[in-house]
Amino acid sequence: MTVNTSTRRDHIEEARRQWITHGWDGAAPGMAAVTTIVRVNQILVARVEDALAPFGLSFARFEILRLLGFTRKGMLPMGKISDRLQVHPASVTSAVKRLEREGLITRRNDSADNRIVLAELKPEGRAVLRPATEAVNRVFLDLGIGRDEVEKLIRLVAPIRDQAGDFGAPD
Amino acid sequence: MTVNTSTRRDHIEEARRQWITHGWDGAAPGMAAVTTIVRVNQILVARVEDALAPFGLSFARFEILRLLGFTRKGMLPMGKISDRLQVHPASVTSAVKRLEREGLITRRNDSADNRIVLAELKPEGRAVLRPATEAVNRVFLDLGIGRDEVEKLIRLVAPIRDQAGDFGAPD
């Protein structure tokens, strides 16, 4: 799976050469890495969204359904959804409202604490979740890089996630 | 920079365990990798956008200005901007219109071919480009992973970009 970029056209490597030409040598690799991540994110999210399109789901809405599906009662407070998926509460609210309009979940106040809004999976949501999960799993099964590379990738960027607080407080 | 995720909280590793519990072992690493890319993209883009906020620029609008700034005449056809930045033409149009409203670029038809719309950097655009580039370069200088890791990361995901046609036709 080696890609010879030296004799082929790569807009990101062209940008890196521009950076170096302008004397920004120190920042050039970081620029190339960030631009690469942005591009690979775009490619992979497009693959997942193509797989989900037949179910009328976006990646974000799928993740909410999937998270609810993993819980014992198919139910979670909105705040917990935002926390677990590391998505802004306003984005969760907007996605949950859309899922509710589409008849896949319901929202209601927690009977024990009226300030808490719960999102709850409806049978219709559970029904779409099974084939939607199978569809995204076909994407996940083969990303186009080897199994070892997948694990290396996850480990390589872990310090970036760590700096953003993704692993909580250090022990 | 090793992160011990075994004794700390990691929502992505929790999702991977759920995947395995449900028997989707084969898809679990790919799910973790895609979710990791989505998260790291979110973290890095937020850093860049924070750096650009004082200049009223998004990452996308900065990239357009930067690309124009690299050309000899500070000018490119809209189609070429979309091609180089690997961004949908509609997104380029919307970003360029905003840059025009903000007085940083102008749009005009190519005198040689009236069907071609050119985006041209104004002196005001060039003036903001210098400090904005310095600001993003401060982000790029230290992503939080080592220089070798940066290059490894770029190489690891190259096959994914290759499948999306990023390197053009093979030799």
* ipTM surpasses cut 0.90: yes
Q: How near does any CA of chain A get to the CA of B63, in Å?
A: 10
Per-residue pLDDT at A95 exceeds 80: yes
Render pLDDT for A98-129 as a digit per residue (tens, 0 to 9).
999 999 999 999 989 989 999 999 999 999 99
Whole-number pLDDT of residue B170: 55
Residue ranges, chain B, pLDDT below 50: 1, 4-6, 171
Nearest Cα to B158, choosing from A144, A23, A70?
A144
Structure tokens given for A125: 């949501």
Distance CA(A60)–CA(A85), nearest Å, equals 9
Contacts with A149 from chain B: Cβ below 8 Å? 156
Q: How near does any CA of chain A get to the CA of B64, in Å?
A: 12
Cβ of B159 within 8 Å of Cβ of A150? The answer is no
Distance CA(A138)–CA(A38), nearest Å, equals 23
End-to-end CA distance of chain B: 38
Inter-CA distances, B127 with A35, B81, B130, Å: 23, 20, 6
Contacts with A142 from chain B: Cβ below 8 Å? 30
Cβ of B33 within 8 Å of Cβ of A171? The answer is no
Render pLDDT for A150-167 as a digit per residue (tens, 0 to 9).
999 999 999 999 999 999
Q: State the SS3 of chain B.
A: CCCCCCCCCCHHHHHHHHHHHCCCCCCHHHHHHHHHHHHHHHHHHHHHHHHHHHHCCCHHHHHHHHHHHHCCCCEEEHHHHHHHHCCCHHHHHHHHHHHHHCCCEEEEECCCCCCCEEEEECHHHHHHHHHHHHHHHHHHHCCCCCHHHHHHHHHHCHHHHHHCCCCCCCC
Distance CA(A75)–CA(A118), nearest Å, equals 7
Structure tokens given for A12: 């990101």
Render pLDDT for A45-93 as a digit per residue (tens, 0 to 9).
999 999 999 999 999 999 999 999 999 999 999 999 999 998 999 999 9
Whole-number pLDDT of residue B9: 84
Which residues have a Cβ under 8 Å from the Cβ of A4 and sit 6 or more positions away? B171
Whole-number pLDDT of residue B146: 95
Q: What are phi and psi of A38, to 5 degrees?
A: -60, -45
Could you count the other beta carbons within 10 Å of the beta carbon of residue B34? Answer: 24
Whole-number pLDDT of residue A8: 65
Inter-CA distances, B17 with A35, A123, B5, Å: 30, 24, 13
Instruction: Specify the amino acid at residue B54.
Output: P
Whole-number pLDDT of residue B121: 97
